[in-house]
Amino acid sequence: MKYPLSRFGKKFTSPSGISGLMKDMGEALQTDEKVYMLGGGNPAHIPEVNALWRERMGHILANGSEYERMVANYDTPQGKESFLKALSGMLNREYGWKIGPENIAITNGSQSAFFCLLNMFGGTDESGKMRNILFPLLPEYIGYADQAIEEGTFSARKPRIEELPGNRFKYHPDLDNLEIGPEIGAVCVSRPTNPTGNVITDQELAVLSERTAEKGIPLIVDNAYGAPFPNIIFTDANLIWDEHIILSMSLSKIGLPASRTGIIVASAEIIEALSGVNAILSLANSSIGQVITAPLLESGDLLRLSSEVVRPFYLKKSRETMKVMDEAFAGIPYSIHVSEGSIFLWLWFKDLPISSIELYRRLKKRNVLVIPGSYFFFGNDDPWPHRDQCLRVSYAQDSEDVRRGIEIMAEELRLIYGS
């Protein structure tokens, strides 16, 4: 029997880019066929990282009742006190901030954190006026695209494109033409950016921070791939925080995605509000990631792991994968966004004769999973061929699988371009 759904029900049960991505990942893991997983966001299984988690779990199991407290007790809706103290202390030591546990909240992954934040500051306000979330630099993370409860909540701006030698390019926010009107409830950027690996410069971030502070609205910075952990960032970029900045972090990309530990650093007022939402949505949060990593924050081992193992691992894979692409795509009109961070490379196929979704379908038939670029251009309906000429490719998986997936992609593109 088909039951009638509310507007909320219809919206969140309709097909979406992120649901398709997760479905493809799940199906690929169930098949006996060889599938080249270049589409998902799962971090790599780095032996040194996994060894540390095993060591910590062994210590937890051997340490009296710590395991039982981790899995059998609710924490507060804000998070585990020992973790909040360890993290605030580390951030103060590393960056000279003056924050306390009252400035940090834990969520069941950063995806759920953004559902809360984007709908707290976007949508119809108490006066009946629509407040928008402004994304100043498309393309942006696919996971934001369908999170607004109300239609029309998101507003986004196309980037400036700086074309560079050697089949490279870089996106920049068009700050000269960026207006933050009274309808804007918050501004949101990811840094490094998923999907492109872009890192907006310190100067660009400073401009956004200054303008949002002047308007009395939050600047939300998604730092899931940035410093201090997992530190998958390959260019100079300073981490900043202020009372109007909401900084999102995560334990996923350091190697604990199943722990579902999202981290929000914000003013005490926002943390109190977010903790209230946490209580309604999920009572409390998973303790596992917090218990595993709290001592590592205090000792500095998590930062050393990020800087000495995780960052070099991904930097090496990024460079290797770009070299493979340059060889495989020779003669094809391609360009790669400069790799400044994250675990993805962003490809632009100029004058692509078919849509990125059709290219995705053709590659899927050949057991190569990528993500169509069009999903990352939300909140802006201006016609723009560029949005249908791009793909996101993960380089986090096995290097030989990545290589073969790219070679198959090149074969298909030559058929499409007729070259």
Give 358-363's long-range contacts (Cβ < 8 A, gap of 24+). Answer: 359/391, 359/412, 359/413, 359/416, 360/391, 362/412, 362/416, 363/408, 363/409, 363/412
Query: Has residue 271 got a pLDDT over 90?
Result: yes
ω into residue 192 within 30 of 0, thus cis?
A: yes
pLDDT in tens, 153-175: 999 999 999 999 999 999 999 99
* CA atoms of 299 and 282, how far apart (whole Å): 31
Biggest CA-to-CA distance, the chain: 67
* CA atoms of 117 and 148, how far apart (whole Å): 10
Find the radius of gyration of the CA atoms of the chain.
21
Query: Which are the contacts of 124, defined by CB distance < 8 A and separation ≥ 6?
Result: 130, 131, 150
Residues in the chain: 419
Q: Integer distance in angstroms from the first to the last C-alpha of the chain?
A: 51
Query: Has residue 22 got a pLDDT over 80?
Result: no
The residue ranking higher by pLDDT, 199 or 3, is 199
pLDDT in tens, 31-69: 668 899 998 888 999 999 999 999 999 999 998 889 999
Nearest to 300 by CA among 91, 102, 99, 105: 91
Kindly list the domain boundaries of the chain, sorted by start residue. 7-49+305-417, 74-300
In this prediction, residue 5 has a pLDDT band, given cuts at 50, 70 and 90, of: confident
Choose the weakest-confidence range: 19-28, 95-104, 249-258.
19-28
pLDDT in tens, 57-67: 999 999 888 99
Determine the average pLDDT of the residues in 127-151.
94
Residue 161 burial class via C-beta count within 10 angstroms: exposed 0-12, middle 13-18, buried 19 and up = middle
Query: Has residue 287 got a pLDDT over 70?
Result: yes
Bridge partner residues of 188 (DSSP): 220
Quote the percentage of the chain above a pLDDT of 90.
Answer: 87
Three-class HEC string of the chain: CCCCCCHHHHHHHCCCHHHHHHHHHHHHHHCCCCCEECCCCCCCCCHHHHHHHHHHHHHHHHCCCHHHHHHHCCCECCECHHHHHHHHHHHHHHHCCCCCHHHEEEECCHHHHHHHHHHHHCEECCCCCEEEEEECCCCCCHHHCCCCCCCCCEEECCCEEEEECCCEEEEECCHHHCCCCCCEEEEEEECCCCCCCCCCCHHHHHHHHHHHHHHCCCEEEECCCCCCCCCCECCCCCCCCCCCEEEEEECCCCCCHHHCCEEEECCHHHHHHHHHHHHHHHCCCCCHHHHHHHHHHHHCHHHHHHHHHHHHHHHHHHHHHHHHHHHHCCCCCEEEECCCECCEEEEEECCCCCCHHHHHHHHHHCCEECEEHHHHCCCCCCCCHHHHCEEEEECCCCHHHHHHHHHHHHHHHHHHHCC
* CA atoms of 341 and 197, how far apart (whole Å): 5
* CA atoms of 360 and 365, how far apart (whole Å): 9
Query: Has residue 180 got a pLDDT over 70?
Result: yes
CATH for the 7-49+305-417 domain, from 3.40.50.80, 3.90.1150.10, 1.10.10.10, 3.40.1160.10:
3.90.1150.10
In this prediction, residue 18 has a pLDDT band, given cuts at 50, 70 and 90, of: low
Which overall architecture, per CATH, does domain 74-300 show? Answer: 3-Layer(aba) Sandwich (3.40)
pLDDT of residue 221: 98
